[in-house]
């Protein structure tokens, strides 16, 4: 995962007692209240209500907080959320090659705390046969999708059958983030480097602009995220609960940039060491100081929401310091934790980093260029014709 050396291999955790953590959490991550109560499962006659099961599918490639927010909205429309992860073959046929493998995408979807079940190798189109299988075998009541268009290569609606059956519901797309823009940010990491190849430069222009690179210069007009979360959004993503008085609290910090399967599995291992996992998200300034001026790819608020959506995480500290010590001038940022005997090292289960993902894109330059061109047209159509959808 790479939280201290940023390039994978090892993550670090600190296991703290409940009393020691009380002071650390005060004024930083206090308990967030105001979440909606659990639905009443009993009818007036004392019988249990039938649980409403909803289905949402997607590629979930390079999964980000926008995907997580879509799954949160979908879960709010029912009692149980079943998620279909589209197969590699279907993605290639309809959009172009995926960056992440099926295994990596499934790990990411299963880690989202609003997901109850996952169907692997789901079809891109919900045809009548698969729709009936959802209704009968998986007891699905409604099929959910965002208000952005999902068209098949022939231009038809991938959800036409669900709409005709009256079993379709729509949620609002999370604006301000997309896989296309994220790829552009990733490629900024190689801009202006002496060893940049023509392929790197072409990709950077193509993705960072979000349109064709005709007549443009590298780097000009690159989209920069100005996403700022509201307190309501943070509450929506938060668990809203603090640790029990006798809880064994585990603290883990890092950048968690371009949140991926390696992060998820290391956080899972950290959570297994205690009862309450508190995660420190390093500020943009700290990440940039240690990784370079074009890092982080996702800014601190985006990274915080991605981590908060993970089912293994109980709370986050936004803008956590690099050093976990009383004296901020220590060379070893974990010296105080080591001296106190509360320092542990977790080896990442996956050899995966942000650089790994960037290399995958470079290796398939032409395919991703074509994929991006199709995606840009779809996004332009969405913003031109979008209508208001209740919910966010």
The tens digit of pLDDT for each residue in 289-339 reads: 988 887 888 999 999 999 999 999 999 999 998 876 554 344 566 777 787
Task: Inform me whether the pLDDT recorded for 20 exceeds 50.
Answer: no
Residue 51: HSE in the Cβ half-sphere, 13 Å Cα cutoff: 14
Identify the residue with better confidence: 273 or 348: 273
Least confident of 116-125, 209-218, 340-349, 363-372: 209-218
DSSP-assigned states of every residue in 274-337: SSEEEEEEE-HHHHHHHH-TT--SS-HHHHHHHHHTBTT--EEEEEE-S--SSSTT-SSTTHHH
**Axis-axis angle for helices 365-385, 198-209 (nearest 10):** 10
Q: Please tell me the pTM assigned to this model.
A: 0.73
The 10 Å Cβ neighbour count of residue 246 is 8
The answer, yes or no, to whether residue 21 has pLDDT greater than 80, is no
CA distance to 1, 12, 39, 263, per residue, from 9 (Å): 6, 10, 42, 11
User: Please, which pLDDT band fits residue 126 given cuts at 50, 70 and 90?
Assistant: very high
3-state class of 58 per DSSP?
strand
Q: Cα(33)–Cα(30) distance, rounded to whole angstroms?
A: 9
* Burial environment of residue 50 by CB neighbours within 10 A (0 to 12, 13 to 18, 19 or more): exposed
Q: Specify the range with the lowest mean pLDDT, choosing from 2-11, 105-114, 131-140, 350-359.
A: 2-11
223 closest CA partner among 236, 243, 206: 206
DSSP conformation class of 175: T
């Amino acid at each position: 995962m790479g939280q201290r050396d940023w390039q994978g291999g090892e993550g670090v955790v600190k296991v703290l007692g409940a009393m020691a953590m009380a002071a650390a959490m005060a004024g930083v991550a206090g308990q967030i209240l105001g979440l909606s109560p659990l639905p009443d499962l009993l009818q007036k006659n004392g019988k249990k209500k039938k649980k409403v099961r909803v289905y949402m599918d997607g590629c979930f490639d390079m999964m980000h907080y926008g995907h997580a927010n879509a799954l949160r909205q979908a879960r709010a429309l029912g009692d149980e959320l079943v998620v279909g992860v589209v197969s590699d073959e279907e993605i290639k046929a309809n959009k172009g090659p995926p960056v992440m493998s099926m295994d990596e995408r499934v790990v990411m979807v299963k880690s989202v705390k609003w997901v109850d079940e996952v169907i692997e190798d789901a079809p891109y189109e919900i045809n009548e046969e698969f729709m009936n299988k959802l209704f009968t075998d998986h007891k699905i009541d409604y099929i959910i999708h965002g208000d952005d268009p999902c068209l098949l290569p022939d231009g038809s609606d991938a959800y036409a059958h669900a709409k005709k059956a009256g079993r379709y519901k729509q949620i609002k797309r999370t604006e301000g983030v997309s896989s296309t823009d994220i790829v552009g940010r990733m490629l900024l990491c190689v801009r202006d480097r002496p060893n940049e190849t023509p392929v790197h430069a072409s990709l950077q222009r193509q993705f960072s602009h979000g349109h064709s690179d005709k007549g443009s210069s590298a780097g000009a007009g690159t989209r920069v995220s100005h996403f700022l979360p509201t307190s309501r959004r943070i509450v929506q993503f938060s668990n809203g609960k603090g640790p029990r008085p006798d809880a064994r609290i585990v603290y883990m910090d890092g950048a968690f940039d371009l949140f991926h399967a390696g992060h998820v599995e290391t956080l899972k291992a950290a959570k297994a060491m205690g009862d309450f996992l508190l995660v420190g998200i390093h500020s943009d300034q700290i990440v940039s100081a240690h990784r370079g001026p074009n890092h982080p790819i996702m800014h601190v608020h985006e990274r915080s929401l991605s981590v908060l959506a993970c089912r293994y995480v109980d709370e986050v500290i936004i803008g956590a310091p690099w050093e976990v010590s009383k004296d901020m001038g220590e060379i070893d940022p974990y010296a105080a934790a080591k001296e106190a005997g509360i320092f542990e090292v977790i080896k990442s289960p996956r050899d995966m980093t942000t650089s790994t993902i960037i290399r995958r894109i470079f290796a398939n330059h032409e395919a991703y260029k074509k994929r991006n061109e199709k995606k840009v047209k779809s996004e332009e159509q969405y913003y031109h014709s979008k209508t208001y959808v209740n919910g966010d």
